[in-house]
Amino acid sequence: MFTSTASIFTQPDQIKVYKYRWVIIFIFLLNIAVNCFQTMQFTIISDVVIKYYEVDSFLVDLSGLIFFIAFIPFFVPIGYIIEKNSLKTTTLISTGLTAAGAVLKIFVNSPERFYLVMMAQFLCAIAQTFLVVLPSEVACAWFDAKEVSTACALGLLGTQIGLALGMTIPSWLIKGSDNKDQVSEEMFTLFIYNAAICILMFTLVWIFFRSRPPLPPSQSQADLVSADKGNKMPVLTAFKGFLKNKDFMIVLLSLGVPYGIWTTFGIVINRIYMHYIPDGGDNDVSFITFAAVISGGCFGNIFFGYVLDKTHQFKIVSLLVLLANTLSTVAQVITMEMGSRTGSFISISLNGFFSGSLIVLSYEYAAEKTYPVPEAYGATAMNIMYAISALLLVVILDLVFDSVGFLTGFIIITVSLALSTMGIYFISPELKRRDANLMKKEKELRF
């Protein structure tokens, strides 16, 4: 039987990889997908929500932005909870908050209850603050060093599946009728199923999820457990160390800012697309966002996670992905300026392939540069950068779109991506986590 708390290994050099790791990563994938499904539910049908609740467009945007806003003030207390508790306890807390938010959404199907929408989104946002920092930690706790980047990508796959479904299913189920009674019924149908799935997810985590296997899957994990004896480094101590780590700070900016730009996609795409292609409609927007998120978040993340496991060429892979991301953004600008629906679909999907893949690169690169600091802390720092970048960009783009124009907004994005790409050049080749595993292999070869 697997225990739900970290074991103290009497033989720290004993390594074993368990088949149960696939159950763990699959449960985690489903769990984070269910949470991320909540993120853009209202912003993707913003025109319907504005008419139904009779609220300003900014408040509708805020229902998505709250997931970024929540991360900034809550990362320290949540980091403390992660520090003091096992993976299972932390995951149960987050899954419970998601379920609570989903249940609350059952009651939002009345025009005067927009405040309940924000309360429900706030609960789900706090839950997401827990979940999005854990994929690297779950992967490292259960998977061999040769599989850890792929496992992290599989965990992160859940974020993209959830976002993609959250950007499409509401558009399919809520038709945007002028009849508010019909919209109320459609909302109730969506959110009753939503709540049932979230409660089921909580039950699965409670019964089947485990924090760690009895024996570590890699030497780097064995070293961590042997050194810490189950006690994690305080989160503030870790963050002070990050500020002195030049390589990590470059990774934080060079990969954090571009992914922050990508996370605003679901918030601003409706406005951008309808400006350039006004006859496209909500179905166009939902289909394009689904394709973009799936191409990057699903295929891109797994592909580049596999490449990292096989090559460990973090610097080269990051440089190439960022360069391709910048060029595909330029292609997106050109096709939209031309008013081409087909061209926009292709360029946005291509951009999604590279943009969505940045999350696995950033998590894994951060883990390599900050080892032996717990992986969740590096991921927390990355998510703070995502949140700050996304919030600033949404505010800047709103101002630029209204006062200058959409093309100027795209130029700001493209210049930011180009500067981030150049930053990768200044990172040293040292990979601390990989080196810890290589030292173990060298010792085995000597004997």
Question: Can you give the pLDDT at residue 440?
Answer: 55
Structure tokens at 190: 């969506």
CA 223 from centre of chain: 28
Distance CA 216, CA 213 (A): 7
* Calpha distance 353→359 (Å, rounded): 11
- How confident is the model at residue 291, as a pLDDT? 77
Which amino acid is it at 38?
Answer: Q
User: Does 369 score more than 80 pLDDT?
Assistant: yes
Smallest CA-to-CA distance from 187 within 200, 170, 199 is with 170
pLDDT over threshold 50, residue 439? yes
Q: And the tokens for 210?
A: 């485990």
**Alpha-carbon gap, residue 145 to 438, rounded angstroms:** 10
Q: What is 224-281 written as a DSSP string?
A: HHHHHTTPPPPHHHHHHHHHT-HHHHHHHHHHHHHHHHHHTHHHHHHHHHHHH-TTSH
Mean pLDDT (whole number) for 89-115:
93
The contacts of residue 93 (CB under 8 Å, 6+ apart) are 81, 85, 127, 130
**How far is residue 297's CA from residue 294's CA, in Å, rounded to a whole number?**
5
Per-residue confidence band for 264, with pLDDT thresholds at 50, 70 and 90: confident
Per-residue pLDDT band at 225 (split at 50, 70, 90): low
- A 10 A CB-CB count for 278 gives 9
CA distances from 48 to 37, 122, 151, 182 (A): 18, 21, 38, 12
What mean pLDDT is predicted for residues 432-441?
A: 68
Residue 30 has pLDDT above 80, yes or no: yes
Axis-axis angle for helices 219-228, 135-142 (nearest 10): 100
Instruction: Give CB contacts under 8 A, 24+ apart, made by 390-394.
Output: 390/65, 390/68, 390/260, 390/261, 390/263, 390/264, 391/65, 391/68, 391/69, 393/260, 393/261, 393/264, 394/61, 394/65, 394/264, 394/267, 394/268
How do residues 274-306 score in pLDDT, each as one tens digit? 778 877 665 677 777 777 777 766 788 888 888
Check pLDDT > 70 for residue 320: yes
How confident is residue 444, by pLDDT bands cut at 50, 70 and 90? Answer: low
| pLDDT for 7 | 40
Query: What is the C-alpha separation between 288 and 44, in angstroms, rounded?
Result: 12
Comparing C-alpha atoms, which of 2, 62, 60, 63 is closest to residue 27?
2
pLDDT, residue 12, reads 47
Where does the pLDDT of residue 4 fall: very low under 50, low under 70, confident under 90, or very high at 90 and above? very low
pLDDT digits (tens, 9 = 90+) for 198-222: 999 999 999 999 988 888 877 766 7
Q: Where are the domains of the chain?
A: 21-211+232-439
How far apart (Å, rounded) are the C-alpha atoms in residues 312 and 142? 19
The b/e string for 113-143 (b: 16+ C-beta within 10 A; e otherwise) is: ebebbbbbbbbbbbbbbbbbbbbbbbbbbbb
Give pLDDT tens digits for 107-156: 998 889 999 999 999 999 999 988 887 887 888 888 887 888 788 888 87
Q: What are the angstrom distances between the C-alpha of 392 and each of 36, 92, 184, 322, 413?
A: 21, 32, 34, 20, 12
CA atoms within 13 A on the CB side of 389: 25
Whether the per-residue pLDDT at 316 is higher than 90: the answer is yes
- The CATH class of 21-211+232-439 is mainly alpha
Cis status of the peptide bond prior to 429, with omega within 30 of 0 = no
pLDDT above 50: residue 2: no
